[in-house]
Amino acid sequence: MSTHPAVYRIEIGPDHADQRIDNFLATHLKGVPKDHVYRLLRRGEVRVNQGRIKPHYRLQIGDQVRIPPVRQGEEEPSGRPNLRLLSILEKQILFEDSGFLVLNKPAGLAVHGGSGLRFGVIEILRALRPEVSGLELVHRLDRDTSGLLMLAKRRSILRELHALLRAGEVEKHYLALVRGTWSGGTVNAPLLKNHLQSGERIVRVDLTGKEASTQFTRLASSKNVSTLPATLVDVQPITGRTHQIRVHAVYAGHPIAGDEKYGDPDFNRFTRDTFGLQRLFLHAHRLKLSKKGLSWEAPPEEALQSVIKKMTGEKL
């Protein structure tokens, strides 16, 4: 185990431009538990250009990163994901080339460790691909959301894919089961991210928030259910804000089934008792990179397919 003897500073070059500060620190501070990395950021001990930053801050060429004395070499609990986790995720890889990969993330698996979680998708894939030094998430999915997720294997590819995301050239579609009979439509409502005293992150519609837009399209409605009708919708987020789909669904009056944070407890109980739903019904089922001529589809897991069949009488 070692300790940095004093504060030191790093100037960001092209190799780390556009990388999130939390990912930069996780790679740079080998052996430091991720919870500790996030504590350093929350306390303002890590600074960029002499200012405090959030974990999602993206580094720019020329940024001066201040890193305080940190103990290193301390192994995280169970320092490597177990064989079961490695095998599960290996089987979910749908596409891989020299630049990036696409996988079908299972529900219940976070995209990265931290906040009490030992491993997420990124840690498991780094264990699966130890020869790939630049493996990074291109975008994120909530822990309880399943479906298509992209990871870049090189910094240059990460920057290219981020540019496509910003330009609206990456088309993402989700399946969601929502409360009520709904024909769908476009929801435009700014979103503001807050952190509660407990550290929990919550997002609300707020005029001072960031612009956000989501397109909902009806696919099917529940049959022979008069008490609490439900609608299966295709969801295309036009922007990419945290918890955007879930918050916009609630704002439209149609919360997503199984959403314990933003949803309707009565609807959650109804879908659990009537359809056997045990999780958030939100699945990223289609991903398209138009400029690269690439697209992928991932049907929802059997548990969600079973809900659809019980609800409509047929599977997708």
Q: What CATH number has the domain bearing residue 282?
A: 3.30.2350.10
301 lies in the same domain as 180:
yes
Q: Can 142 be counted among the known catalytic residues?
A: yes
Q: Which of 42, 72, 102 is the last residue of a domain?
A: 72
Tell me what pLDDT residue 1 has: 42
Verify that 147 and 238 share a domain, yes or no: no
Percent of the chain residues past pLDDT 70, beyond the cut: 90
pLDDT the model gives residue 157: 93
Question: Span 190-214, mean pLDDT?
Answer: 87
Tell me the angle at which helices 302-312 and 265-275 cross, rounded to the nearest 10 degrees.
90
Residues with Cβ within 8 Å of 294's Cβ and at least 6 positions away in sequence, in order, are 95, 288
The reply to whether 188 and 306 lie within a common domain is: yes
Regarding whether 305 and 186 lie in a shared domain, the answer is yes
Last residue of a domain, one of 72, 92, 117: 72
Mean pLDDT of the chain: 87
Q: CB within 8 A of 314, min separation 6: which ones? A: 308
CA distance 194 to 30: 30
pLDDT of residue 23: 81
- The reply to whether 77 falls in a domain is no
- 300 with 175, same domain: the answer is yes
Q: What is the pLDDT of residue 56?
A: 83
Rounded Cα gap, residues 101 and 135, in angstroms: 10
Please give the tally of structural domains in the chain.
Answer: 3
Q: Do 136 and 243 fall within a single domain?
A: no
Final residue before a domain boundary, out of 18, 43, 72:
72
CA diameter of the chain: 69
Catalytic residue chosen out of the listed positions 15, 35, 63, 142: 142
> For residues 291 and 209, what is the distance between their CA atoms, to the nearest angstrom?
31
Instruction: Examine the domain organization and report whether 177 and 242 are in the same domain.
Output: yes
The reply to whether 190 and 124 lie within a common domain is no
Query: Against a cut of 0.75, is the pTM above it?
Result: yes
Dihedral sign from CA coordinates of 165, 169, 170, 173: positive
Residue 77: what pLDDT?
Answer: 44
Is there a single domain that holds both residue 174 and residue 306? Answer: yes
Its domain, for residue 257, covers: 170-312
Residues 260 and 187 reside in one and the same domain: yes
- Asked whether the predicted pLDDT for residue 116 surpasses 60, the reply is no
Among 53-57, 81-85, 95-99, name the most confident range: 95-99
Inside any domain, residue 102: yes
| Whether pLDDT at 85 is above 90 | no
Parallel, antiparallel, or unpaired for β 282-289 and 146-152? parallel
